[in-house]
Structure 1
């Protein structure tokens, strides 16, 4: 319990620091009134708009007002949409979750077999090519890869649409694309673009883990018992290789959700990242601050859950926290 309270307190300090930095940065970038009010508007109307948005107050007072409202669950009202910023984020959350989970599935589908092949046959031509491709996956920028995917599969081959979300279906009150064929056609390219970096990470982890597992005594013992190579790989090498993969990807899921900004912008995917870019362009300060606080809280919660899982799996870790 002491560990949980300590981590929650640490998370609260992280959220406070993020909110202060973002609030100050947005204040320096520009004045949203210049975008919200017609330059030809009457000065009295402009003054009323500034007062209604609370922008006539000094920055420190605006920030304290924001903190007081945040403590009551109110992260501010969007300057552009005129609705609570948190409701806008939660409205876009299903689309981002759908994209992130699809990308995670593709990363595992591509990364595990390729990494296993490269680990079992590291000196083969295919193993070397897979290793080089994984390095390339880390180096290529997501926006460039996204544009190339659109150019090849949407413009030249015309197999898939270049953007948008396509047809959705209501499931448990959520609009989801994965339950329609048109939705999958729109989802595939952005999910693949978001998955490539994670797939390269999975390839590296599986390749290193399988090479390490092959050198262990339990693999030698399994082979000495006369087990076939496929039984050795599937029953001994792969399960032990996947432990660090699951751990790392559990943490990377937060990054997929929070930092799908580039992919959502390139493909016009109506998720939280697209909302963030639109809010930045319009200097919609409440939406930007609310999004970054939401993303920071997501990382704090995921880190806490992973550490609690470690403590449950390994009592030595739990005892070290007391």
Structure 2
């Protein structure tokens, strides 16, 4: 286990280094933030001073080396627009994005698992057909359109839920969290469901296929032959085994949910990392863009490692260490 973890950490560091090169070159080679940040009325001397202050007067390879040296100290650059550390800006917005992502994944499991289980146990029933048709809609409908429809129905016409913002927050360890307040839950409901819709459909179809496959296995037939109740067969023998692929996919999808919550945050004006990156792209705030992408890469790597460990816990046949 220790050897495996050390090997994965080394691989993760190599991936981070490679991604830092790709991200830095890709972002810094496109566009010129000077044209946006500096007034058109500025003379040449003022432009040169501003370019030097931003560190844009150095060649690209020297800018990367400076970035790498600072990154090793935990400094991912300073925002051109806010004049604050880029990492601090992202960390301030991270609780909002994490709330949205975990809320979406919680809804996907809470709704998707029971519906997928029912559809797998009774595949020919009317309810199962309705569930599968709904899952197809969940895959097909665009996120931004669903978000606008949710706002139109529940915020504008019915007035049940707020249409934008994060609501009241509670400060814990210097970070603001909204899921600890009733008003925060009301603001979280629509964007979390909007972000979860695709994941709900994915969990439904994954659970259904897992149940259909497990019901044909010998251990299920043997459990029935012993006279075990259908409930015990379902939740002890079937449900436990289908959790393995579900946990794997849900864990990997958590990273994509965090990374691709941009549309939902934009539609609902949710003050998370996604909205920050959109605003930063509009003004070519390069340090914030690079810092955001590096944080997302680090999240993906960490989540993948946790999923691998959970996979080995759920399935004893999986070994993390290769045998000589």
Q: 1:35 to 1:289 in 2, by over 3 A?
A: same
Q: Tell me the residue number matched to 2:90.
A: 89
TM-score by length of 1: 0.93
Q: Tell me the residue number matched to 1:189.
A: 190
Equivalent pair of 1:222/1:232 in contact (CA under 8 Å): yes
Verify: 1:272 aligned to 2:285, yes or no.
no
* Runs of at least 4 residues off by over 6 Å: none
Q: Tell me the residue number matched to 2:28.
A: 27
Q: Tell me the residue number matched to 2:16.
A: 15
Q: Tell me the residue number matched to 1:236.
A: 237
Deviation digits for residues 39-65 of structure 1 (CA, Å, limit 9, x no counterpart): 112322221111000111122221121
Q: Tell me the residue number matched to 1:320.
A: 322
Q: Tell me the residue number matched to 1:67.
A: 68
Equivalent pair of 1:75/1:85 in contact (CA under 8 Å): yes
Equivalent pair of 2:247/2:307 in contact (CA under 8 Å): no
Deviation digits for residues 98-149 of structure 1 (CA, Å, limit 9, x no counterpart): 1111111111111011101110111122212211221222222222221221
Q: 1:243 to 1:4 in 2, by over 3 A?
A: closer
- C-alpha distance in 2 between matches for 1:214 and 1:318: 28
TM-score by length of 2: 0.92
Question: Aligned runs of 1:221-300 on 2, under 5 Å?
Answer: 221-300=222-301
Verify: 1:169 aligned to 2:170, yes or no.
yes
Q: Tell me the residue number matched to 1:207.
A: 208
The alignment covers a number of residue pairs equal to 322
Deviation digits for residues 300-321 of structure 1 (CA, Å, limit 9, x no counterpart): 1222233344456647623426
- C-alpha distance in 2 between matches for 1:321 and 1:162: 55
Q: Tell me the residue number matched to 2:117.
A: 116
Equivalent pair of 1:119/1:207 in contact (CA under 8 Å): yes
Q: Which runs of 5+ in 1 are unaligned?
A: none
Equivalent pair of 1:106/1:199 in contact (CA under 8 Å): yes
Comparing 305-314 with 228-237, greater Cα deviation is found at: 305-314
- C-alpha distance in 1 between matches for 2:321 and 2:31: 50
Verify: 1:77 aligned to 2:78, yes or no.
yes
Please provide the CA RMSD for this pair.
2.0
The alpha carbon displacement at 1:16 in A equals 2.5
- C-alpha distance in 2 between matches for 1:318 and 1:107: 28
